[in-house]
Amino acid sequence: MDTLQAIQTRNSIPRLEDPAPSSEEMFEVYKGALRAPDHARLRPWKFIEVRGASREKLANAFLKTAHSLNKDLSESEIEKLKQAPYRAPMLIILAADIKNHPKVPKVEQIISMGAAAQNILLGIHEIGYSAVWRTGQMAFNPEITEALGLEANFEVIGYLYIGTSSGKEKPIPNLDPKDFLETWN
């Protein structure tokens, strides 16, 4: 698969099952993630891989965060949070390691982390796996940073849910680049 073909055929898949990529496969994918553009070489990337039974630890962090954010959680909300990490055999917590730098604001470091995440999506797609990037209440707040045991400078920018497509794939939208393009003469 060439690069453009991988980019053009990537498709987010919410229904994911075993197998997930192996550690050896992910090692190569992470090498791609570490080629994200990175102003001043701050390396603002931390990937926390959660597989199998360790998803319970993530479910507990989700619950702790939800309890900190909302005092009155219903039974069904609690159950939904507990089940959330089990929607895929493997997840990657995307935690941007934000550093103070006179020329590189936080937003640039978050963009770099987002580019690294996209490289992961493309890398796993190329080797035959699928994923979806999710955020919601469990991202972009200090409560989730703390619940995950991270230092306060980390910003959780989301989660990649990764596995093998269950086969139900949506059609890839047929967008026309011309609708998004302006050319200056």
Minimum gap (Å) between residue 121 Cβ and ligand FMN: 8
Q: How many residues bind to ligand FMN according to rule CB under 6 A?
A: 8
- In the bound state with ligand FMN, the residue whose beta carbon lies nearer, of 15 and 67, is 15
- In the bound state with ligand FMN, the residue whose beta carbon lies nearer, of 40 and 113, is 113
Taking alpha carbons only, the member of 44, 43, 37, 33 closest to residue 98 is 44
Residues 143-182, interacting with ligand FMN (CB under 6 A): 158
Write the DSSP assignment of 15-40 as a string of letters. -EESPPPPHHHHHHHHHHHTTS--GG
> Phi-psi category of 180—alpha, beta or left, where left has phi over 0 and alpha has psi -120 to 50?
alpha
Minimum gap (Å) between residue 125 Cβ and ligand FMN: 10
> Phi-psi category of 157—alpha, beta or left, where left has phi over 0 and alpha has psi -120 to 50?
alpha
Minimum gap (Å) between residue 115 Cβ and ligand FMN: 11
Residues 120-149, interacting with ligand FMN (CB under 6 A): 132-136
- In the bound state with ligand FMN, the residue whose beta carbon lies nearer, of 26 and 132, is 132
Our measurement of the distance from residue 94's CA atom to the centroid of its chain's CA atoms, rounded to an integer in Å, reads 5
- In the bound state with ligand FMN, the residue whose beta carbon lies nearer, of 9 and 23, is 9
Phi/psi of residue 50, nearest 5 degrees: -125, 120
Asked whether position 111 contacts ligand FMN by CB under 6 A, the answer is: no
Residues of this chain that bind ligand FMN (CB under 6 A): 11-12, 132-136, 158
